[in-house]
Structure 1
């Protein structure tokens, strides 16, 4: 406050207000408490540490914690897919992407003692944020070293043909399962999302020979598939034709049997008639046979014995042209 004699002695002279330090201290405390406000993103988890010890985990949204140095918060991205490259490195993401080989990571022995060049991509994410932060030191290096160990172990159990062509997908799954087993053993809070071969080939020194062998195998597979397709086309037709012939033979067999039974029945009926009247039956059979043998010839029945005078010949009917008398 200004003193009453200020105009007689014009100089600044203020009295010190003892409340000002308290106001300043209260403001600093307020700003300090305000610094404890933080926001956890939708793809994050908040891990609160009090004097270095984890006390709680919070989800997405605004939160408050005791300000530094009492508490601090770590917000790892738990949904982010992280990537590890083995056997190669991405020099430029492109397009077009450019890569460089890392032979000391890529070259390894197979189960039949051949050398193979494997380039692998491993994708992983955080499964448990506190374990990821506090149980392991350098989680990225841990994943890389464990991936290389799992890759060499699984490839070492398989032949080179299986690695290059036949069982590539099965081997990828085996590597992923083995790597997840190692991560669970280290209890690092890491989940393996995917293990995929970027490239699998023989070393450059023998790559051309292996390509020739692979091409020959592909030709063999193609020929086998073509043969199987031809077999699948011909066999049903042959079976159908065979079934048709069998059915026709069975029908012919039944027909012949029925016809033979009919012939037997007719013969037995004729036999019974013959036994009753042999002469009459013999004559009837003769006439019926002549009717079948000479269907277009006019026939005459002559009764009695000896010769019969048929003159004059002109009275006989003329047989049609091309016929007989």
Structure 2
């Protein structure tokens, strides 16, 4: 009798890299495989990397006859692909920043390797599970991560302060400049107006000096006389001595005037 192998081509299979599932749970329990999981990053840091590879059969004939042990071959090839990709990235990329990129690059490298073996396998996904520093240096690494987070926080706070203060300072400076320009224009116009008035008076003065002097005198008196106390003394000679009661009003005079009287 002959045996007929009918592989399940639609079934999604999986292999584990860096760990093995002891009990699916819940809660699940795992056993680490350090010889598979410890890898060197591009910035020369060691990471403990667990991954799951999902695949299915795309060519049953090639799957059955071209490779003796497909699962072991796939596991070994995945280690090679994952180490290669991790070695091209920094630890921050592998752990956080470019995690999805690392997964996709690993899938592509692994697919090329398995196609080279004509294994009949299609890699559907590579999923990183745990990526962290080795347990021996984990505390030190966590301290470094926290320090970086604090640094980023301080930088963001400084940027926020800068974005808050600088626009206000610029706005205040622009307002002061605008006010100074307005004051400058006002003074210029006032000076031009005063100069124009002076030139006008000068022209009139040159035309009629005595008349202009008298008009200016009268205009000046008109401005200052309403604010002071006035005494009117006749000019006719009567033979009498004019006595003005000015002492009683000295208290209302400015201090400088009182001093002059003494």
Matches within 5 A, 1:121-136: 121-127=52-58, 131-132=62-63, 135-136=66-67
Structure 2 counterpart SS, 1:198? strand
Q: Does residue 1:276 correspond to 2:207, yes or no?
A: yes
- 1:171–1:249 CA distance, 2 compared to 1 (3 A): farther
- 1:102–1:277 CA distance, 2 compared to 1 (3 A): same
Aligned to 2:192: 261
**TM-score computed with the length of structure 2 as normaliser:** 0.74
- 1:241–1:84 CA distance, 2 compared to 1 (3 A): farther
**TM-score computed with the length of structure 1 as normaliser:** 0.62
Structure 1 counterpart SS, 2:27? coil
Residue 9 of structure 2 contacts residue 58 of structure 2 at CA under 8 Å; is this kept in 1?
no
Aligned to 2:21: 90
Residue by residue, what CA displacement relative to the aligned partner does 1:216-246 show, whole Å, maximum 9, x if unpaired?
1221122112212222222222222222222
Residue 297 of structure 1 contacts residue 323 of structure 1 at CA under 8 Å; is this kept in 2?
no
Aligned to 1:249: 180
Residue 82 of structure 1 contacts residue 123 of structure 1 at CA under 8 Å; is this kept in 2?
yes
Distance 2:115 2:223 in 1: 101
Residue 90 of structure 1 contacts residue 97 of structure 1 at CA under 8 Å; is this kept in 2?
yes
**Which structure's relative contact order is higher, taking Cα pairs within 8 Å and 6+ residues apart?**
2
Structure 2: gaps of 5 or more residues? 245-251, 255-262
Q: Does residue 1:237 correspond to 2:168, yes or no?
A: yes
Q: How many residues align?
A: 246
Q: Which of 71, 79, 83 is the equivalent residue of 1:152?
A: 83
Instruction: Give the structure with higher Rg (CA).
Output: 1
Report the more deviating stretch, 120-129 or 196-205: 120-129
Residue 41 of structure 2 contacts residue 90 of structure 2 at CA under 8 Å; is this kept in 1?
yes
Distance 2:151 2:50 in 1: 28
